[in-house]
A and B are shown apart, each in its own frame.
Chain A
Amino acid sequence: MAIKDYLRERFFPHLWCSGCGHGIVLNSLLRALADLGMSKNEIVMVSGIGCSSRISGYVDFHTLHTIHGRALAFATGVKLSRPELNLLVPMGDGDALAIGGNHFIHAARRNIDLTAIVMNNRIYGMTGGQYSPLSGQGIMATTAPYSNIDYDFDTVELAKAAGATFVARSTTYHTQQMTKMFRQAILHEGFAMVEILSQCPTYFGRKNRAGSAIDMMESYKENTTPIGSKSKMENPDLIERGIFVQKEVPEYCNEYDKIIEKAMKGR
């Protein structure tokens, strides 16, 4: 299927600012779905609130645009009720790791078969540039006018510790890697988390003198490196890209099917 067929074109142009990384994430995601030849009726996209969540409006799937931070909880209900459906859950910093942090770790812990996409732009864009749990120390934001003193989460480490069975990270600069990762994450049976560093030139960029969208994307090229590369050993500040965890662990809905079998036998 051509990727345009996955779009609700009548809603374009989209509402993201020019230079925003989220459109690149959408592009890579649709390419991954096209590569896999997935039909639109078997995909449910569940999103929360924020710039990232608007992605669900532009795709011609079953789309559930929910409330802030709770996308994974809604998605858990959809998935457990209809395990044959494929669940995609795009989230921003706040959805995934601030208000929704609890649902994030618990969905990972259950190993329920969802694909969680964390679009990390290190800022709250929709509300105008406040710091997020992924901003980190020293970052300027409208609510950190003297610079931020909060430490940031490492999304990958958090997902690993919570038990996610597929954990990966890439950036909007590395679109082919991103597409490949999405393909693997969707095929993975269990909770898959893909973090994408996605630029927000409008708020993060301006507040932090990070330059244009292109400058920010170039910084993704310069400041990241494949997992375990030589340059990482030489420069520990580089952010690693790639698949950190990929393991087979019994999936939640399958396990629940066994509970049903047990309960029915016991009658």
Chain B
Amino acid sequence: MNENIKFVQGNEACVEGALFAGLDFFAGYPITPSTEIAELLSIRLPQRGGKFIQMEDEIASMCAIIGASLTGSKVMTATSGPGFSLMQEALGYAIMAEIPCVIVNVQRGGPSTGIPTRVSQGDVNQARWGTHGDHAIVAITASNHQDVFETTVEAFNISETYRTPVILLYDEVIGHMRERLIVPKEGEVPSVKRLKTSVREGVDYHPYLPREDGRLPMSDFGGVHRYNVTGLFHDMWGFPSDNPKVVHDLLRHLVDKIHNNVNQITKYKSYYLDDAECILISYGSAARSALHVVDYLRPRGEKIGLLELQTLWPFPHSLISEKCRKAKYVIVVEMNMGQILKEVRIAVEEPEKIFLANRIDGVFITPMDIRNIMRLIQGKGV
């Protein structure tokens, strides 16, 4: 038996991915359906000298991981809707101060306490715009445990590369169901190390002056360079500034560093898109039902394909536009009231050919739900 084969929950696959990526520090507060992540890390992190702390709430958890990240640690927190709402202000701080960190949101039904033990994908737009002010954000997701592992590693890689918080938007079905995971050996999946400054002691270090490639080498708190970190607009030393040029340039930098790299950041999977007349666009656990439909109908002669998005933000508009150009109709499959549907409508040239197959009742969307929508579109009734 291969030692690296495991039969685990998605939440455990996420933990394995985070540890593979070099997680040093986790702070969190229990909330269904993400709690297993905290429980497992409370066991695993100290076994390798890492730190786990259960904070007094999700606000404190988000703040604690930012503090820890500044000392050079790779950091993560995990939560669900209500906790994710509480994290938004500190998430904005991490964006502004360019602190690498990973936030897992195992989505459940909302708004408010909603339906804690049931699935939803209702936080997609919250991930995009939950914190105030103009900003860019990276949010990624996955539909099976092998991909959960890899996207979790990828989240750390993106957060280090671009010095940005990255949101992992999983959902209750993925978090709780168990299936096979093969944990790769060290080196089999690339893991990005923190880029540290090479500026020597006594030489002026500019924590917020990007290199030519746009990256910002860091210096750990406690190291030889003392600088300021703030949520205010700040100059290249990290000190507050209300100089209009400083404000303008920083905001542009924060947005451009993500949006100019959409192609590098975007990950997706495609199934039978080349000749597809009907394209399903889906993500997360809903993509499993969509793929089930495709696998069922293809052998029966239907020209149907699936575009599974793994990167939700920044949204890959040009990818969608290109892939959907030849399709007769496109169905977005998601468990919300059309949050990605709106983006797809913006992306494609003929928005009238875009339809929504969704469920918002806490029940996992079934292949039959999707096929019923297809029948309606095709004029066959249900």
Q: Indicate if the CB atoms of A102 and B56 lie closer than 8 Å.
A: yes
Q: Is the interface of A mostly helix, strand, loop or mixed?
A: helix
B residues 62-78 touching A (CB-CB < 8 Å): 63-73, 75
Interface centre among A73, A85, A103, A262 (most CB of B within 10 A): A73
Tell me if B125 is interfacial: C-beta within 8 Å of chain A.
no
Contact residues of A between 53 and 71, Cβ < 8 Å to B: 56-57, 60-67, 70
Chain A interface size, under 10 / 10 to 19 / 20 to 34 / 35 or more:
35 or more
Please determine whether B228 and A81 come into contact, CB atoms closer than 8 angstroms: no
| Residue of B66, B67, B228 ringed by the most chain A CB atoms within 10 A | B67
**Inter-chain contact B226/A103, CB cutoff 8 Å:** no
B46 within 8 Å of A (CB atoms): yes
Of B46, B66, B67, B223, the residue contacting A260 (CB under 8 A) is: B46
Contact A78 B67 (CB under 8 A): yes
A81 to B51, CA, bound (A): 7
- From B64, B90, B224, B240, give the contact of A80 (CB < 8 A): B64
In the complex, are the beta carbons of A63 and B229 less than 8 A apart? Answer: yes
Q: How far is the CA of A106 from the CA of B59 in the complex (A)?
A: 13
Q: Is the CB of B240 within 8 A of A264?
A: no
CA–CA, A74 and B27, complex, Å? 11
Instruction: Say what secondary structure dominates the interface of chain B.
Output: mixed
What's the nearest-Cβ distance from chain A to residue B379, in Å? 55
Rounded to whole angstroms, the CA-CA distance of A20 and B286 in the bound complex is 59
- Considering the complex, which residues of chain B in the window 83-122 have a beta carbon less than 8 Å from any beta carbon of chain A? 89-90, 93
Q: Are B226 and A62 in contact (CB under 8 A)?
A: yes
The answer to whether A200 has its CB under 8 Å from any CB of chain B is: no
Tell whether, in the assembled complex, residue B71 and residue A259 are in contact, meaning their CB atoms are under 8 Å apart: no
Q: Is A233 at the interface (CB under 8 A from chain B)?
A: no
Per a CB cutoff under 8 Å, which of B67, B93, B224 touches A41? B224
The residues of A with any CB-CB pair to B shorter than 8 Å are: 11, 40-42, 44, 46, 56-57, 60-67, 70, 73-82, 84-85, 102-103, 106, 256, 259-260, 262-264, 266-267
Asked whether, in the complex, the Cβ of B240 is within 8 Å of the Cβ of A78, the reply is no
Asked whether, in the complex, the Cβ of A73 is within 8 Å of the Cβ of B227, the reply is: no
- Give a binary string over B13-48; 1 marks a CB under 8 Å from any A CB, 0 the rest: 000000000001101000000000000000100111
Contact B226 A60 (CB under 8 A): yes
Query: Quick one: which of A42, A56, A80, A266 contacts B51, CB cutoff 8 A?
Result: A80
Are B68 and A77 closer than 8 Å at their CB atoms? yes
**B349 within 8 A of partner (CB):** no
Asked if A264 meets B46 with Cβ closer than 8 Å, knowing A62-B222, A64-B70, the reply is yes
Whether A41 and B51, one on each chain, are in contact in the complex, defined by CB atoms closer than 8 angstroms, is no
Q: Kindly list chain A residues whose C-beta atoms are within 8 Å of the C-beta of B68.
A: 77-78, 80-81
**Option from B27, B228, B231 in Cβ contact (under 8 Å) with A57:** B228
Q: Is the CB of B55 within 8 A of A62?
A: no
User: How distant is the Cα of A40 from the Cα of B227 in the complex, in angstroms?
Assistant: 11
With contact pairs A256-B51, A264-B49 given, residues A67 and B89 touching in the complex (Cβ less than 8 Å)? yes
Whether A56 pairs with B228 at a CB distance below 8 angstroms is yes
Q: Could you show 7 A-B contacts with beta carbons less than 8 Å apart?
A: A70-B63, A75-B67, A77-B68, A78-B67, A78-B68, A103-B56, A260-B49
A-chain residues with CB within 8 Å of residue B72 when the two chains form the complex = 81-82
